[in-house]
Amino acid sequence: MKDFKLDPNKIFPSYGGKGSRKHSGPKTKGFGYQILGFGSGAPGKNQIPFGYLIVAGGGMGGQNYGGGGGGGGMREFSIPQGQQAVETGTYTITVGAGGSGTRSPGPGGPESGRGVNGGASSVFTGSAFAVESSGGGGGGNQGVPDLNGAGVPGGAGGGSGPGGYISSNPRGNGNAGGYSPPEGAQGGQSPSSLDAPAYGAAGGGGGGAQGSAGSHSNSGGPGGGGTPTTFISPSAQTFSGGGGGGFGNVPSGSGGSGGSGGGAGGNANASANTGGGGGGGGPVQGNGNRQGGSGRVHLRCPTALVPLVTVSPEGSITASQDGSAIITFTSSGTLTIA
């Protein structure tokens, strides 16, 4: 049990994080809302209402004239509802890894050069209470059909490589889970051109905005902006920014800027626990795929019920400014309700 001091008689005010991924329920009592099911189940079966903020891992940038990786899918359930009153038991919390490595079948094959998708994040895996968000899509490669210039679908979609000589490469679509509201936007799409290598690659999509096309001045497109939230604290924080696109074969080019919320600039790795997409690479700045940022999971519950909760191995429980409790996972672990 984590050391957590609290006033068991404290009744705290309603709190609802704000952001485009917010899900809300009917206002009633306690926690700003009715604590549904607590004490009403079978003997020994406690129930705790949780709000969730789930950020998946960001996608990896493409390799050569590479599109930016898409931001990890972001979903927010700010206000507990009846189906989110979780019963006694031990549950898995999964924090998605940032996209990295090599897409199968590897160098020289049809997936060569495309970025790898980030890992999904989820809460209460394997139970009736499970909720998931999708990993960000990998960035596309250069504009040659058999090397897959298309961005990869994901929580937010990967940006495409620069347009082919006849047609443009498709962007990666966002909201891979088909959720409402959507967990992320589509990647950018660079146009076709008879001088395709002079185009920079497109930026990856972010949680809140799509990526942008690269320019004919050999600059990569910016990644889409992430999604701001006040779920963790009253001061808004932003996650799931898209990675910037890489650029082509002349030193005068420049990589696209990363989207707000952890998106990496062209040819750069995204930071851990941001859900940001990795930046696309290119012949001048280096052909290595750039990693997406890992995700994170936050849960909010009534302070008075914290003595029933244990987290392991590295989760933390802290008091929020509004009097409720915030449970944070920056790596995968378990949550036990006594």
> What is the tens place of the pLDDT at every residue in 16-72?
333 434 443 322 223 333 333 443 444 457 788 889 999 999 999 998 788 999 999
Mean residue pLDDT of the chain comes to: 81
Q: What pLDDT shows up at residue 230?
A: 92
Say which residues have a Cβ less than 8 Å from residue 317's Cβ, sequence separation at least 6: 2, 4, 306, 309, 311, 325, 326, 327, 328
Q: What pLDDT shows up at residue 205?
A: 98
Q: What pLDDT shows up at residue 9?
A: 31
Q: What pLDDT shows up at residue 35?
A: 38
Measured distance CA(223)–CA(267) in Å, rounded: 12
Measured distance CA(65)–CA(293) in Å, rounded: 20
Q: Model confidence over 142-178: pLDDT tens digits?
A: 755 555 788 999 999 999 987 665 567 889 999 999 9
* Phi, psi angles (nearest 5°) of residue 124: 55, 45
Q: What pLDDT shows up at residue 291?
A: 95
Measured distance CA(22)–CA(251) in Å, rounded: 44
Q: What pLDDT shows up at residue 194?
A: 58
Report pTM: 0.86
Residues (pLDDT < 50) of the chain are 1-43, 81-83
Give the per-residue SS3 of 1-32: CCCCCCCCCCCCCCCCCCCCCECCCCCCCCCC
What is residue 35's DSSP assignment? Answer: -
Measured distance CA(292)–CA(95) in Å, rounded: 13
